[in-house]
Amino acid sequence: MMDTADLSIFTLITHAGIVVKIVLAILVVFSLASWTVIFQKWFQITKAKRESTQFDRSFWGGSDLNNLYESANNRRTSIGSMEGIFYSGMTEFLRTRSSRELNQANFGVIDSVARAMRARYQRELDQLESGLSLLATIGSVSPYIGLFGTVWGIMDAFTGLSNLESASLAVVAPGIAEALVATAIGLFAAIPAVIGYNRFAYAIDRLSNQYESFMEEFQNILNRQA
């Protein structure tokens, strides 16, 4: 029986039953995966915001479209999301307009540009949203996994009392404390995942609206040139 005077977290974990230890191991893995995604998404979204702000400033700062296109073309493997949408649209615009001019017609140029930008927009959005489903899953299931470990641990603690002639709170308290650690670890894994998911989902939604506004405005500019 564990010493009731020593109820530190480490002691509770080491004296927990095998099922509770498995639950704790799963929750630790979930927590590590959650924090890995959180840091990755934080850097990725911060970079996307910075690149979009810089390109938006250049685009509306009076820069020539051809110069912007040449700059994007030279860095096409490392450009940001908004600049990538611009690059895809401008590439399709130049290609389609040249083809239409050969046929003495310019119909359908903007439709082709819109489809090209929409396809690039969706790819960029998919990259930004990757990993969010994992955060949502960890945030939703971790408390229940922890609760399972707690229930199992309490059942195990009370089952062990059947072998004792007399039982008191001092005897049953360590077993219950061991079981409750699973719930605490479950919440520890779930709370950052939920906060990260909500924060990143909001940031991505803001970026998505910014990209869509840019596509509409850019299509209007190209429509006048077409």
> CA 60 to CA 122: how far, in whole Å?
23
- Res 102 pLDDT > 50: no
Please report the pLDDT score of residue 225 as a whole number.
72
Rounded to the nearest 5 percent, the helix, strand and coil shares of the chain are: 85, 0, 15
Token representation of residue 47:
């970079």
Please report the pLDDT score of residue 13 as a whole number.
62
Confidence of residue 48 (pLDDT cuts 50, 70, 90): very high
Please report the pLDDT score of residue 162 as a whole number.
61
- Res 84 pLDDT > 60: yes
On whether the CB atoms of residues 174 and 7 are closer than 8 A, the answer is: yes
Token representation of residue 206:
């803001």
> CA 13 to CA 149: how far, in whole Å?
12
On whether the CB atoms of residues 161 and 172 are closer than 8 A, the answer is: yes
- Res 56 pLDDT > 60: yes
Please report the pLDDT score of residue 10 as a whole number.
61
> CA 93 to CA 82: how far, in whole Å?
16
Q: Evaluate if pTM is beyond 0.85.
A: no
Cβ neighbours for 148, distance < 8 A, ≥ 6 positions apart: 23, 182
Three-state secondary structure call for residue 46: helix
What does 165-215 look like in DSSP terms, one character per residue?
Answer: SS--HHHHHHHHHHHHHHHHHHHHHHHHHHHHHHHHHHHHHHHHHHHHHHH
Residue 103: enclosing H or E segment and its boundaries?
none
| Every domain of the chain and the residues it spans | 9-225
